Amino acid sequence: MRADRLVAALLLMQNRGRVTAAELATELEVSVATARRDLEALSAAGIPVYPQPGRHGGWQLVGGARTDLSGLTAGEAQALFLLAGPAAAGSDELKAALRKLTRALPETYRTEARAAADATITDPARWGEHTRDRPAAVTTLQSAVVRRRRVRFRYKDVRREVDPWGLIDKDGLWYLIAGTAKGQRTFRLDRVADLEVTTETFERPDDFTLDAAWDTVVGLIEQRRSSTWATLLIPERFLWVLRDHFGRHCEPGDRLDDGRVRVRVGAPTPRDIARTLSGWGSAVEVLEPSAVREELARIGAELTTLYAAS
């Protein structure tokens, strides 16, 4: 599109200071005649772009005129590049977008923006784990969300027709929040099959925000995941490991004189808590409830029976 070329030409002159029609034609992959017409169009539109004759001539913004086409503040530019820089590693389109945005920034912002883009690397896999593959449906659904197109798919062997409202990447697990005939629903993308984007459009509710919707989903899931709570004692130096296992369902309490800490941990069932704690042996002492203590005793008896002979 010509509008894209005109913006690109303006950004190129901002970056280089002066450019010839031939150089612009090479950059934009157009003919020299087309590049010259684009430059003349900029000048006719009132932008201070003028040709400079002579051996070292070319077109330039007179008087060092500049335009910040991004409208970003310095802090906003750094925040954007810190976030988008690591993600650009796997996307040629995002890399190209960041390059264009860099050229649109004022000179005083560019150095820090480039540094921000290179400041962080994201490795989504934990130690000893493989990176989860991004579901093939993500790109298709992202387009459907933006274009407001209804979709059909098979989910747990049931055909569904939904209005895709937004996508969430939860530590490599992707979820779709969608509108259905029965209201808002959440779907795991790794369970979606036979995805089809229809030509039917929809309107998202005016009061819907993806952040608020996901907060509600997380609250309900976390409530189910922590229906059982246990109180235990653990040496304080191991508290960080327990936090890693239970996440937000680990609540440290008082510190005892013997160096142990009183902690509350939550999980769906007493057996889930016992399975997580059984590997600690006597390093962890469960005070309550009795159901978790009984599960630990059962696991210990099973292990004793299995390995006592050897």
Which is it for the CA torsion 216, 217, 218, 219, positive or negative? positive
Pick one of 3.40.50, 3.40.720, 3.30.70, 1.10.720 as the CATH number of 226-307: 3.30.70
pLDDT of residue 222: 80
Asked whether residue 164 carries a pLDDT value surpassing 80, the answer given is yes
For residue 164, what are the CA distances in angstroms to 68, 149, 198? 35, 7, 11
User: What is the full DSSP assignment across 109-153?
Assistant: HHHHHHHHHTS-----SPTT-PPPPPPTHHHHHHHHHHHTEEEEE
Read off the pTM: 0.58
Considering the chain, tell me which residue range(s) the CATH 2.30.30 domain(s) occupy.
137-205
Each residue's pLDDT tens digit, 69-79 = 555 666 776 77
Alpha helices by DSSP H, 196-260: 210-225, 239-246
Q: Which of 102-106, 217-221, 257-261 has the lowest mean pLDDT?
A: 102-106
CA dist 169 and 56 (Å) reads 52
Fold for domain 2-64?
Answer: Arc Repressor Mutant, subunit A (1.10.10)
Intervals of CATH 1.10.10.10 along the chain: 2-64
49 in Cβ contact with 42 (< 8 Å):
yes
Residue 180, pLDDT score:
94
* Bridge partners, residue 255, by sequence: 261
What per-residue confidence (pLDDT) applies to 300?
92
Among candidate residues 109, 16, 14, the one with its CA nearest the CA of residue 67: 14
- Locate 37 and state its tokens: 């017409």
- CB-based burial of residue 239 (10 Å sphere; 0-12 exposed, 13-18 middle, 19+ buried)? middle
Of residues 10 and 271, more confidently modeled: 271
Residue 143 has pLDDT above 70, yes or no: yes
